[in-house]
Structure 1
């Protein structure tokens, strides 16, 4: 979850208004899904609607990575609030991959009791649930973890050392083991974090990943670790377990063209139940001014091979969520709207005109939405215009 960003969505609202609720192109005559429509992933249970809770950093876990009551209550309130899929914050799969104090863990069986409690509580609300599996790589907190950071290449600025081939194998195994743990805990699935410059995304970095062991150099080799993580999870979990992935469309050493090819390649494997594109702003144009259109358009036309495609970034109203579906997304991932309203999903499904409250908001309003005090402190320190 990046810091220092304003939550202002007036530009998004203006784009939605200008679009007039229509999408140009060959899909214009096809029926656009409604937010209330159910979704059937390739594996496992039905999602009750097309709104998903974003995996939001909240720093509320205990120091050992076990689940706290505040984090439990934050997530369960969103399940009660109507989301079709509820995704946890990034949960570290290995001790050396922890990125910050208060991060949720899924690296050890010691984390299982809290995760099991959370999965049971979420299931009781009717939502589907997934743990986001995460390894920070060179962005880990080495001082907190007490071990050197690892990365695809030596990075002295981050005090990170290159993974050996055996080290890459251990990383893949850590993701697979964490997914098995999530299934044992009772979650419906996992989402692999391949975005925002963390370890798996670091392998995709064409500027710096020049490994010669099959995990660097060409794009095919740079994305190999993602293929192997997903294949390993699918092989180690049951036929009803849902496997998702989050990718970044541009940046961190990845071009739009390479992000599109990565998404195309991974969708074509048939391993994925869902792919979530983290767009920062769903109406955003590429930073590379030589690339036409909006970022979303470079992914919604891809063959999906049975997977569901989601988009995330700045959605704070029912109208904006519908616009995402009109662009060709299967579901919409909501972050700030779900912070402001635990029942953002239920409100948006019931009221086509629903819009999240104006910001900044008093901290007391967020507490009433089951946002714990540690999470409020994190938001106040890192985000513009949110808390009065």
Structure 2
């Protein structure tokens, strides 16, 4: 039986010390130009000291047009490198593996923040989005690859491509709306093409010790569970990925669209071909995390638990009965856990039960 304390080895890059990854949590702590702030640095470094096998940044935009919120981290320019390099060095000193999550908002970007029109696979006037040209799609693929190279230069152990939650990569997978006729839309094979090209490009442009991950949504945002499962099967069979992180909203939930069984069960039975499979969603105790491994996951990504306890991973490894503190919690408690003021304000505005 796999233990939460067991190291996790990969085809590329370092083994993780245990089965816990820090989820890529939006925290709105970066500077206006996308450079890393001290508050964001301290938030992430504390999770490395807190025992997470992998510490991953929040979604970092790979191109200015992809910025989706104020305070978002950037990896779109060499101007972003100094802060990222300082963070990578600090995380290595904690013993954690490190990764940057690569992101483009697409139709969910914010022109008021980015100063640029929204990009999308299709025309969507309500979002101010105009269908990307084929050349713009090719440039977007190049932007993801360039951002991965930048992360490697900064000293990170890897990257994770954000293909979940209806952002640009996921928008190409949307079977309801993406009916492009240039080879990047219509059939499932063509809608999948962007995912394939981004992963192939990153793998070709980075070294043999650089880890590559992908985050996917199982269903929703125009993705059926059948196609979500096929996407996961293909990427794991490709030999390109070190890890696939399925963002399940709640690891204990079933399909919202009538499929039988739990969502987790539709992915843990797939052949992995060396890819490590992770799951995320409302894991708030050591018991929850062990259950995920018992279902067949290789690792667990933790979000809320890592906000409430910088050392969630170390506590869960050491104490089989560990569970997060009761919510809501006072701001002072969050400050002690190295959650910065901007992050606390974001949590207070968007999460009903977290900040007292």
Coarse TM-score class (shorter-chain normalised): over 0.9
Matched, 1:368 2:336: yes
What residue ranges of structure 2 are gaps of 5+ in the alignment?
none
- Give 3-state SS (helix, strand or coil) of 1:275's partner: strand
Matches within 5 A, 1:36-185: 36-185=5-154
Could you tell me how far 1:384 is from its partner in structure 2? 1.2
Write out the 4+ residue segments of structure 1 that deviate beyond 6 Å after TM superposition.
none
Matched, 1:196 2:196: no
Question: What's 1:35 paired with?
Answer: 4
Question: What's 1:380 paired with?
Answer: 348
- Give 3-state SS (helix, strand or coil) of 2:332's partner: helix
Map Cα deviations across residues 307-345 of structure 1 (whole Å, 9 max, x no partner).
100000000000000000000000000000000000000
Q: 2:151 & 2:4 partners in 1: Cα distance?
A: 28
Question: What's 1:277 paired with?
Answer: 246
Question: What's 2:192 paired with?
Answer: 223
Q: 1:361 & 1:49 partners in 2: Cα distance?
A: 28
- Give 3-state SS (helix, strand or coil) of 1:190's partner: strand
Could you tell me how far 1:147 is from its partner in structure 2? 1.3
- Give 3-state SS (helix, strand or coil) of 1:332's partner: strand
Map Cα deviations across residues 258-309 of structure 1 (whole Å, 9 max, x no partner).
00000001111100000000000001100011x1000000000111111100
Q: 2:181 & 2:236 partners in 1: Cα distance?
A: 25
Could you tell me how far 1:146 is from its partner in structure 2? 1.5
Structure having greater relative contact order (Cα 8 Å, sep ≥ 6): 1
Matched, 1:323 2:291: yes
Q: 2:2 & 2:186 partners in 1: Cα distance?
A: 40
Q: For 1:306, which of 249, 265, 274 is the aligned residue?
A: 274
Q: 1:281 & 1:33 partners in 2: Cα distance?
A: 21
- Give 3-state SS (helix, strand or coil) of 2:287's partner: helix
Q: For 2:155, which of 172, 186, 192 is the aligned residue?
A: 186
Question: What's 1:244 paired with?
Answer: 213
Could you tell me how far 1:143 is from its partner in structure 2? 1.8
Q: For 2:181, which of 212, 218, 221 is the aligned residue?
A: 212
Question: What's 2:317 paired with?
Answer: 349
Q: 2:30 & 2:112 partners in 1: Cα distance?
A: 18
Q: 2:5 & 2:166 partners in 1: Cα distance?
A: 33
Map Cα deviations across residues 29-53 of structure 1 (whole Å, 9 max, x no partner).
xxx2100000101101111000000
- Give 3-state SS (helix, strand or coil) of 1:90's partner: strand
Q: 2:128 & 2:308 partners in 1: Cα distance?
A: 37
Q: CA RMSD in A?
A: 0.5
Q: 1:331 & 1:268 partners in 2: Cα distance?
A: 18
Matched, 1:256 2:225: yes
- Give 3-state SS (helix, strand or coil) of 1:267's partner: helix
Could you tell me how far 1:220 is from its partner in structure 2? 1.0
Map Cα deviations across residues 222-255 of structure 1 (whole Å, 9 max, x no partner).
0110000000000000000000000001110001
- Give 3-state SS (helix, strand or coil) of 1:366's partner: helix
- Give 3-state SS (helix, strand or coil) of 1:49's partner: coil
Q: 2:76 & 2:304 partners in 1: Cα distance?
A: 28
Map Cα deviations across residues 113-149 of structure 1 (whole Å, 9 max, x no partner).
0000000000000000000000000110112211110
- Give 3-state SS (helix, strand or coil) of 1:352's partner: coil
Instruction: Report how many residues are paired.
Output: 356
Could you tell me how far 1:386 is from its partner in structure 2? 0.7
- Give 3-state SS (helix, strand or coil) of 2:264's partner: helix
Could you tell me how far 1:55 is from its partner in structure 2? 0.1
